[in-house]
Structures are given as C-alpha cells and as structure tokens.
Structure 1
Amino acid sequence: MDIDHRDQLVSGVVSAEWLYEHLDDPQVAIADCRFSLADPELGQRQYQESHIPGAYYFDLNRDLSGPVGQHGGRHPLPDVGTLTEKLRAIGVHSSNSSLENPDLENLGEPTLVVAYDNSRFAFAARFWWLLRYLGHEHVVILEGGFSNWQANYPVSNAIPEPKVGSFVPHVQGDRILDIEAVKSRKDRPGVVLVDSREGDRYRGEREPIDPIAGHIPGAVNYPWQMVTTSEGQVRSLAEQQQHWAELAHVEEIIVYCGSGVTACVNLFSLEMAGIRDAKLYPGSWSDWCSYL
C-alpha cells in the first residue's frame, strides 16, 4: 500500500496515532533509540522488556557512533558501511536503490523511518540526522516518545526478524565540520557557533562528563531542551521559528554540544524553523577540549 509521507516529512514528526495506523505498512520502519549516558546498557534492557511492535533497536554507542580515540569526541560518527548494513537489515529502501541495483524492482516509495526515544528527542534526533547525512530524507521522529506511546497503545517484547532492504548511502559531507574548519570559520562575519548544552555547562559552572568545563570561544547558547516540552512533545512551528529568529538570516550556523548527539535536536529544530543549511561539529566540546 502506497502512503503519502509528505505531511510527516514537512513537520518532521509523526503522532502515536499515525504510527499505530501504519504499524503493518511495509513502507514504514521503526527505530528504537532509547539510551542513557549514565547507564549505557539501559536502553537495550528497556527494548528487550517492551518496545513498539516491529521496532528495531539502535544503540547510541554501538550503532550510532564509531570507535572513540584520543581526539574526535566521545561519540564519533559511525562507519557508513556498518550503519548501512544495519539499515538494510531493518528493511530500509532508499529512493535510488533500484537505479543503482537493477535487480531490485518495484520498490515503490523510499521507506519512511520513524525514530523514537524517551529522552525528548536526544537520541532519536541523532538517528534522524545520521539518515539525512547519509542522504535519506524520509525520516521522522515520534511525538512524545515511548512513554506517550505506552500510555495509549500496545507494546511488545518480540524481537522482529531481520529484513532485506536496499538502502544506498549518499554521504552529505557538507553537513559536517571538523575542528580545524570550526577554528577557521567560527569568528567570520555572518557565522554563528551554537552550543546546545544546558546553560550551566555552557558557562563552565558544571561539567559532569568531559575533563574540562567551558565552551568554545565565541559560541552562543541555545539549550537543546528548549525544542520540546518536558513531556517530549515538540513545540509548535511558530515557537521554533521564534526561538531561532535572531539567526534566521545569518550566513552559516555551526552547531555543537558535548559529543555531537544532542546538537542534533537543535539541528532538527532549525530544520523545522526553515533554516536548512546548519552544520554539525560532530566532535563538539569533547573533541575541542581534548586539545586544551
């Protein structure tokens, strides 16, 4: 059954009601991205206990990040090939799959991938951003996360069988900047560097994770939690636009956080607000302070 994804793609989110009505649709795949920085195995345990029926688990450390080194931050971007195989195993088809592999026929529309977490988009937005980085625009986030779903719809502990997708990555390298590019561009006229962490971490009053407190010189602070309500509902389009009004006409926006994860919530919000060319510094403060 062909479905029209346009409304969901424009808003960037889907409701629990919409997802419930499309649980059995072969053009929809679901990614459970629950995670806890304080307890890295918690998300996996939660998934095994109960999840949205048909959802596949994506672990921040194992699936959505690469190996950690001396530099590069606490959550480097994952290996493209490895993530591609995982996306194929949950049945994701990309719009160009049949063009690049003539053996694949009648795939129809690209798969709409719905990501969710229970952390106000903190980890689902990382998944959302990664798919777009790999050239797959058909990805959205579930409004309200798992808690909202669980309060209204059935859950399951059944682990779905692997599928055979045809996802073909097309890396959008212009969406990221490394530390040298950030250094050379951040102080130029028309460039704004956005720190996505909580205000006290930005100001250097508290640093629970990284060895050095503070922020990159010249950065302005837009905490990622402002994108959603405390219940995990995304704020309205008007609120998103108002939130970013001062940056609506700057030439370039570079976004970072502690390790390139929650910065993606701000990138999601910027996209909602119509600001579509903001870039991610994946290493973020954890990379920057590793050189201090």
Structure 2
Amino acid sequence: MSVLVNKAWVLARMYEPDVTIVDCRFMLGQPDAGRISYEESHIPGAVFLDLEKDLSSSVSEHGGRHPLPDTGQLAAKLGKVGINRETRVIAYDDQGGLYASRLWWLLSYMGHETVFVMNEGFSVWKDAGYPISKEQPVRVPSTFTAEVHPEMLVNLEDVRQAMKDPSVVILDSRESSRYLGLNETIDHTAGHIPGAKNKFWKGVLQDNGEWKSLDELKEYYKDVPKDHEIIVYCGSGVSACPNVLALTELGYPDVRLYAGSWSDWISYSENPIATGEE
C-alpha cells in the first residue's frame, strides 16, 4: 500500500483504536508556530510532535541544523503519546508533507512499518469542512521498541567516499538557487556537494500542493537510475525526506539519507564545495 493517503482515507479511519494521528506542522524561523496552530485547531484526536523539540536533537558544532534525535528518547516520546510498533501512524502538516515526511522517515528508520503521510495539508482538510478540534487528546501510554535500520542512513565519511564512486547518485533537495550557490538564505556557505544533482523537494508536488501521481513522479526522477545507490541530502536533513519518500514509493531499492546534510558538510572546512551546474 502507498505511504501517501488522502483526507477521505484518514477520515474513515481516524477513530479506529489502533490509529494515531500526528500533527507535524512547523515553520522555519518561527519555532512556536506549529504548536500554536495545533492548539488553535487540529484533526480530532491528533497529537503534536515538534520538529525541533521532538524530531531533532540539540545542535552542536557538527551534525547539522536538525540532527537526528536520540532513538531511545524519541521512542520514549512515542510511547508517551500511545504509539507502539503495532500502531498505524498518520502524519500530516500544512507544508506539502515536508515535516510529516520527516516523521515517516524517522519511524521507518526505527523499524515501524505502518506509517502514512496525508497527501493534503491541514488547511485543505479544514476548508473541505472535515472535523477539527481544539481539544488535546488523553492518550494511554504504550511502549515503542525501536529496531534501528542503519542502512537507511549515511554519515559524512560515506558521502566523501560516494563522491568518488560513479555507482552512487547524490541528490540535493534544496531549491535551485541554493544548490547553484547563487542565493544562500539559511546556511553560512553557499554551494553544494561536488557531483550532486539537484532535485528540489517541491518537485514531488503538483501546482495545487498535492503530491504528484506515481507516473508524474517517475517522470520527475527519470534521470535517476534505479540500479544505483541514492544518497539524498538538503540543508539540514528535513526537506530531503520527501525525496526519499517519493523514491521509496517508486520502488528504488537503495535510498539513504545524509541526515546532517549541507549544514553538517560545511561545518568541516576541509570539505570541497561546488557551485553552478554539474
């Protein structure tokens, strides 16, 4: 079954006892905006997980702007809101699946197999007249037992080696101007990892903000060979996740996330930097 589900599918299952809906809304530069939006209104029964407080660890010299959370700590937080390995998790946001995809990736990395991303944001849900609530649900705590899949992840040294390996494709998920080094709006150094191809994560979306069909996604990634290892990065390991999700939906067998991404790469002064087209 597809990871991407529509709002009608969510509506039909939202009250089933093994389902937990997770609100992942977030706004870069406004760290409290997601929580505030959740408290104003959300899908009934949904719990809230924050990108920076729950789905990332503290920033340090290396590791990027949104380092992966400690799996033990995240497992405890998941258990606290009633999520265990048997729970069907439905994630949503209001940013094209950007932050919901981060939760999908993290749960997949920790061995959870039934995670879905709602293919329309909260605003579409609300505007369609679907039910909303301000009530914060009372959840029965559970135990989430992580079974980490390290093969889904690469580190800095893996990327350094991949640059020399023609059988590995490196994809940069940032918008073109940042990839080219023309307009770096977030990190202190512009450019990209040498050899990387640019696949802006919003390329997975239609003009109306919904995800493209599988045929449209296949067209978008037609220049990415399926028989190669694929390493995906972005600025901080978040917007790479929609690309990872899309490639996984298309059946690419070996897709890995460079979680530290560009903000980790440039924290090492000896790392090479490229600008312009590849």
TM-score interval for Structure 1 and Structure 2 normalised by the shorter chain: over 0.9
Separation in structure 1 between the aligned mates of residue 3 and residue 236 of structure 2, nearest angstrom:
23
1:25 to 16, 38, 41: 16
How many residues are matched? 268
The answer to whether the Cα contact below 8 Å between 2:226 and 2:253 also exists between their aligned partners in 1 is no
Aligned to 1:12: 3
Partner of 2:103: 127
Does 1:213 find its partner at 2:204?
no
Alpha-carbon displacement from aligned partner over 1:187-230 (angstroms, at most 9, x marks no partner): 20211110000000000111111000110111000000011124
CA shift, 1:158, in A, is 0.4
After TM superposition, give the deviation of residue 89 of structure 1 in Å: 2.0
Runs of 5+ in structure 2 lacking a partner? Answer: 270-278
1:236-276 deviation per Cα after TM superposition (whole angstroms, max 9, x unaligned): 01111122222233421100000000000100010111113
Structure 1 segments of 4+ aligned residues over 6 angstroms from their partners = none
- Give the structure-2-normalised TM-score: 0.94
Secondary structure, counterpart of 1:254 in structure 2? strand
Given that 1:74 and 1:287 are in contact with CA atoms closer than 8 Å, whether structure 2 keeps it comes out as: yes
One-letter code aligned to 1:179: L
2:158 alignment partner, one of 181, 190, 199: 181
Aligned residues of 1:175 and 1:278 also touching (Cα < 8 A): yes
**How many Å separate the matches in 1 of 2:209 and 2:20?**
21
**Paired residue secondary structure (2:164):** coil
Shift, 1:166, TM fit? 2.9
Pick from 269, 281, 284 the counterpart of residue 258 of structure 2. 281
CA distance in 2, matches of 1:142, 1:150: 13
CA distances 1:55-82 after superposition (whole Å, capped 9, x unpaired): 0101000000011000110000001111
Within 5 Å, which residues of 2 pair with 1:89-168? 89-94=80-85, 110-152=86-128, 153-168=130-145
Question: CA RMSD, aligned part only?
Answer: 1.1
Q: Distance in 2 between matches of 1:230 and 1:119?
A: 13
Give the deviation of 1:165 after TM superposition. Answer: 2.2
**Cα deviation, residue 146, structure 1:** 0.5
Q: Which residue of 1 aligns with 2:275?
A: none
Q: Where does residue 65 of structure 2 map in the other structure? A: 74
How far apart, in 2, do the equivalents of 1:277 and 1:175 lie?
Answer: 8
* Distance in structure 2 (CA, Å) of the matches to 1:256 and 1:231: 25
Aligned partners of 1:276, 1:259: CA distance in 2, in Å?
A: 23
Whether the 8 Å CA contact 2:228–2:254 is kept in 1: the answer is no
Cα distance in 2, alignment partners of residues 226 and 69 from structure 1: 31
For the 8 Å contact 2:66–2:237, the answer to whether it is kept is yes
Q: Which residue of 222, 229, 237 maps to 2:199?
A: 222
Contact kept in structure 1, 2:91 and 2:116, CA below 8 Å: yes
Percent identity, please: 46
Q: What TM-score do you get using the length of structure 1 for normalisation?
A: 0.89
Distance of 1:89 and 1:24 partners within structure 2: 19
Aligned to 1:246: 223
What secondary structure sits across from 2:143 in the alignment? coil
